[in-house]
Amino acid sequence: MGLLKGIDPLLSADLLFILRSMGHGDSLCICDCNFPAFEVSGKTTSQRLVHVGGADLPQVVNAVCSVMPLDFFIEDPALHMAPQAGVSMPPLGTAVIADAQAAVSQHCPGMQIKGVERFEFYERARKCFAVVQTLERRPYGNVILTKGVVGPDGKDLKP
């Protein structure tokens, strides 16, 4: 495996291929190590599952957002898994989502990751382009990011 200048080393050739293959409006599920990634990925558009070893959710979100524009033309381009009704978010879940939010904000200031109920999140993940599984062990460490457009200036295109 060779490294490239200016490209986060967490972005493997397989992951870069997926990101380049995605079009505007396609979504990517980035999940924790307890997520049913194999089952879910089998129902995605590409049926691809990439494992990113040695990295947690915020590290992978940061790496992905360093090269993939997010969709500023839709209401919720960044989603996270939230507990179902009657279940509280555990403190570690709150922490991992806050860390993922910081990673998104670094590349897309002002963009918020919105919560989606756990079982609805699984359904949305099955409609993604692909799944990227991290070694994140904190609960609810799962996000879906929707790809936007790179504008003429090389930055995320905004309305």
**pLDDT tens, residue by residue, 3-28:** 889 999 999 999 999 999 999 999 99
pLDDT digits (tens, 9 = 90+) for 89-147: 999 999 999 999 999 999 999 999 999 999 999 999 999 999 999 999 999 999 999 99
Residue 76 bears catalytic tag: no
Residue 122 bears catalytic tag: yes
User: Which of 71, 80, 140, 156 is the catalytic position?
Assistant: 71
User: Which of 32, 122, 140, 156 is the catalytic position?
Assistant: 122
The amino acid at residue 65 is C
Distance CA 78, CA 72 (A): 10
Q: What pTM value is reported for the model?
A: 0.96
Pick from 28, 24, 60: nearest CA to 157: 24
Distance CA 41, CA 39 (A): 6
DSSP per residue, 51-115: E-TT--HHHHHHHHHTTS-B-TTSS-SEEEEEPPTT-PPPHHHHHHHHHHHHHHHHHSTT--PEE
